[in-house]
A = this chain, B = another copy of it.
Amino acid sequence: MPFEPRDPNFDAKVRDSFAAQSMMTTLGASITELTPGRVVIAYERLENFCQQHGFMHAGVATTIVDSACGYAALSLAPAGHDVLTAEFKVNFLAPSSGERFIAIGQVIRPGRTLTVCEGEVRQIDDGANRLVAKMQATMMTGEMGS
């Protein structure tokens, strides 16, 4: 689905906001793809962010795919507008074993107030490309500072 960005400066706006999220820096996460309505974030498993069996914590999977969806929505927002997560739902489909993951956020319906996105977390270790979590999210767009 190709979308038309409403802010020609969308790429810098998304990257600046991402850089300002201390959470993303702490996780060592990075944006690897950014087009209007679609954002991909890469994450490598950190020892200090695991659940009781040493797998990536479900909360970390959620954090990166929430950011991917939020920035996918922000890439389509007008200039001077910000995006907040209104709600999301995540299904965990397989244990998040492995080391390397990507989170894909994709707008499926942009709106003036609400933008609906779907997201995926995939394990991408050598040869693998396995869906481990699936998100459906509602993002809310509003004027900055309002």
Interface residues of A (CB under 8 A from B): 17-18, 20-23, 25-26, 47-52, 57-60, 62-64, 66-67, 84-95, 108-109, 113-114, 116, 118, 131, 134, 136, 138, 140
Q: How far is the CA of A23 from the CA of B57 in the complex (A)?
A: 7
Query: 7 tightest A-B contacts by CB?
Result: A59-B63, A89-B89, A20-B52, A23-B57, A87-B91, A26-B48, A93-B109
- Please give the count of copies of this chain that the complex contains: 4
Pairwise interchain contact A48-B62, C-beta atoms closer than 8 A: no
Contact B25 A89 (CB under 8 A): no
Question: A23-B50, A62-B62 given. 18 additional CB < 8 A pairs?
Answer: A22-B50, A23-B60, A26-B49, A59-B62, A59-B67, A63-B63, A84-B92, A87-B89, A87-B92, A87-B116, A87-B138, A89-B136, A91-B138, A93-B116, A108-B131, A113-B140, A114-B140, A136-B136
